[in-house]
């Protein structure tokens, strides 16, 4: 259960609780957290991420409002089962990453075909490199 939690590095300028929410979204988009999966309690999360309990609480509240997680009565919180929401998370993350990329590359004014070819090459390289490093564990 600790896997993927201890490596979170926070930046100082974005609200910590939103960085926590983003981390959850990434875990969901990459399949490390699955639909209906039970997640750590607020207290456990605070300890795992080394954040203060108020911040953990705030992150959970935000995720409940975004219907990312469900907390019913006294049972532990879990990831939502709603396929629609889970799909949205993935496209939302991809879109925001692409937007950031486009903003920074726009200044250089590259023809779109040249750019796409470069992206393809780099992306394939990077993926094969990181999947080797992780021992191809991205599917488990």
Binding stretches for other proteins (CB under 8 A) = 10, 12-18, 43, 46-47, 49-55, 58
Q: Which is nearer to other proteins, 17 or 24 (CB)?
A: 17
Shortest approach of other proteins to residue 19 CB, angstroms?
A: 9
Q: Which is nearer to other proteins, 18 or 98 (CB)?
A: 18
Angle subtended at Cα 111 by Cα 106 and Cα 114, rounded to the nearest 5 degrees: 110
73 touches 114 (CB < 8 A): no
CB crowding 100-127: b at 16 or more within 10 Å, else e: eeeeeeeeeeeeeeeeeeeeeeeeeeee
Shortest approach of other proteins to residue 77 CB, angstroms?
A: 17
Shortest approach of other proteins to residue 25 CB, angstroms?
A: 18
């Amino acid at each position: 259960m600790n896997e993927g939690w201890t490596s979170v590095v926070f930046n100082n300028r974005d609200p910590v609780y939103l960085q926590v929410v983003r981390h959850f979204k990434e875990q969901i988009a990459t399949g490390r957290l699955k639909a209906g999966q039970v997640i750590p309690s607020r207290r456990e999360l605070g300890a795992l991420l080394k954040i203060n309990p108020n911040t953990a609480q705030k992150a959970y509240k935000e995720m409940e409002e975004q219907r990312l997680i469900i907390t019913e009565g006294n049972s532990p919180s879990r990831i939502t089962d709603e396929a629609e929401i889970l799909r949205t998370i993935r496209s939302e993350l991809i879109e925001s990453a692409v937007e950031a990329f486009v903003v920074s590359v726009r200044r250089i004014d590259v023809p779109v075909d040249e750019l796409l070819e470069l992206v393809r090459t780099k992306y394939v390289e990077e993926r094969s490199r990181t999947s080797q490093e992780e021992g191809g564990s991205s599917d488990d």
